[in-house]
Structure 1
C-alpha cells in the first residue's frame, strides 16, 4: 500500500530528537512490511523541506497553519502514485487537512485521536475549551474518517461518551529498539527512586506531582525524584520545588533524546505520572518493558492497567498519589507483582502488534462498502460533537 501519515510533528530528521517514538516505530514497521510511506508534517522545521526517515519520506510544510502547502504536497505525491490510505494523528490540524485530502483525492482516512481532541469535546477529567474554528475542524475530521482509533481503553470510554465510535489500538513499544528487561528487586534500605518523564506543562500537572513529594517528605519517606522533560512554564515548577525545600530530593533535567532515556528508566523503582489527561502515556509502556511499574492518575494506560498492573489514583489528588507511593515503598512483593503484570501486558501489545492492527484497519477501510453505512455513522458522530 501507499500510505500518507499526517502529523503536526515528531519526525525530526535525526530520528532521535523532537520525535514521537511510537510514531517512528509504526512508520518503520509499515516500511518493513513493504508499504510506501510518506509523512506530511506541519511544523517539524520552520521552512518547507523533505528528507528520508526510516525508509519513508517526510514532507514538511514549515508551519502548523500551512494547510495549503500540505494539501499541495499531498496532491502532488498522489499524482506521482495514488495513495491507498491516509492516516491522520490528531484531529486538528492533521485530521482536518486529511479530511480535505480524502474528499479531494478520493482516498479513505483513518483518524487517531489523542487526549486533547477528546477534551475539546468536553469529555474526560480535564475538559478543555476550544475555539469555534477548532471545533468545526474537529467535526470535519470525525465526519470524514473511515475509522477512528484511540490509544487506550480509558480513552475509548471517553470517546464513546462523546458519541464517537472508536477502536482502541495501543501505540506499542518497539522491542528491537527498547529491549525487555526483567523486574529487579529494590534495596529497601535506600531511598525509593522515582522517575517522571514528561514536558512541564499544565496538562501533565507537575503541581500535583510536587504536592505528593511534599507529603512524602513530611511523612519521612526517603525518596529521590528525577524529572525529565522540556519546560514550557518558564521555571514555575522548579521555583515551586525550591520554595518547598525539595532541592535535595527532586532533580530537574531538560528533555533528552530518546536514545539517552533508557538508563533513567533502568535505575528507577517507580514511574510516577500526574497527568490530567493522557492518550497513553507511552512512557508507562516503556517503563513496563524494562520492569518498572507506574503509579499515577487514572488516565490512559494507567487506568487500563489498574489495579493489577499499575496503581491509579484520582486526577489532581496529591495525597492519594503520595500514599500509593508509600504503600509500594513498603510492599516490595506488591511492587514486583505490578511490574511483572505490566511487562506481560506491554509485551503483548508491542509495536509489531500496533502495526499489524493498523494494517488490518487500512485494508478494511480500503475495501468498497455501501454508501449509506459510513454516511449514517458519520452523521451520528458529527451530532455527538455539536
Structure 2
C-alpha cells in the first residue's frame, strides 16, 4: 500500500490575515495539528518574510510566486496576498498543478475571474475560495432553513450591511482605497455578501442595477488619526438590486459608517418570512449577545425562533469552522459547502456589475461579464479529503 503523507503547504502573503488564520495551523504550537506542513512563504515585504522565517524556518520568496512553485513544488498554495495579485498567483499555481485555497475576493475583476475559471478547467488541480462567512453558524442555519422550505420558495431577500467607523475608514487608509487594487468595497468587501446571497438562494445572479457614492471618507474628512490619502477613489455607500435566474430578487446595501457592525436579513418566501440580525463583536471583543435569533413566520402559522450560540474566535468562529471543514476533517458533505472558482467568479461579477451600473445607469447582465463560465462542478482538491501519495 502506498504511503501517505500530510499535504505540503506554501503561503503567499504574510500580512495580518496570514498571521491570524493560516500560520497558526503549522508548527509545534498549531491549534489544528495534523493539517499538513508549511514548506515555503512568499511576500514582497522583507520584514514580513523575516518575521515568518524566524519562527517557522521555511524558505522565503519574493512577490513573484513562480520561483516558489518551481523550486518547492508544494501540494497546496494558500493565497493571502493583496487582492490585485490573486488572479496571477492562482493561475500560476493551477498551471503548475498545485491546488489553491485563496482568500476573498478571488480576483478584482470579472475578466480575471473568468480567466481563473478557465485555468482551473485546464488544470488537474482545483481552487477553493475562503468565503468564510458561509461557515458562521448563524448563516449555516439560514441556509438549512431555506433549503428545508421553511418559508417556501424565496421571492425577495433584503440584506443590509454596515461597518463601524474604524473598520470602514481603514479601507480608505490601506491599499484597498484604490479601485485598481481592490475593486472597491463592492468587490473587496461586498463579495462576502453577494456570495452569501447566491448561496442562500441557491441560484445564479442574472442582472444587477445599482448606485454607489462616497459620503463619509474623503481627503476633506476631519482627521481622526490621519487624513484620507488623495488617491482614494472608492465609494463608501452602496445599493444594488440583483435579479436571479429563478426569478428571486435581492436588495442589498452597504454603509461604511454606522454605530454598529453587521447585517440585518429578511427573506420573503411564498409561504412565509425569515428574519435575523448578525452583529460583529466590538473592538474590545465583548460578544454583543449570547445567542443569535432567526425568526421564521410561516403564513397561517405561529412564528417560531431558532436560537444559535454566538461562538468565539475570529469572524465569530467562522474561520475555525472553515479550516475544520476544508482542511482538517474534510468530507464530501463538508466539501460541498465550499465556495468553488465559479462561486468566487459570480461574487466578483456582481460587484463589478454594480460598479458598471452605477457609472452609466444601466441594468448589467452578469453572465456577459463572465464569458464561458457556467455553474458546473470541478473535482475537489485531493488535500481536502485525503493526504497525497508520496
Q: Which has the higher contact order (CA 8 A, sep 6+)?
A: 2
Does the alignment reach a TM-score above 0.5? no
Of Structure 1 and Structure 2, the greater strand share is in 2
TM-score relative to the length of structure 2: 0.39
TM-score relative to the length of structure 1: 0.39
Of Structure 1 and Structure 2, the greater helix share is in 1
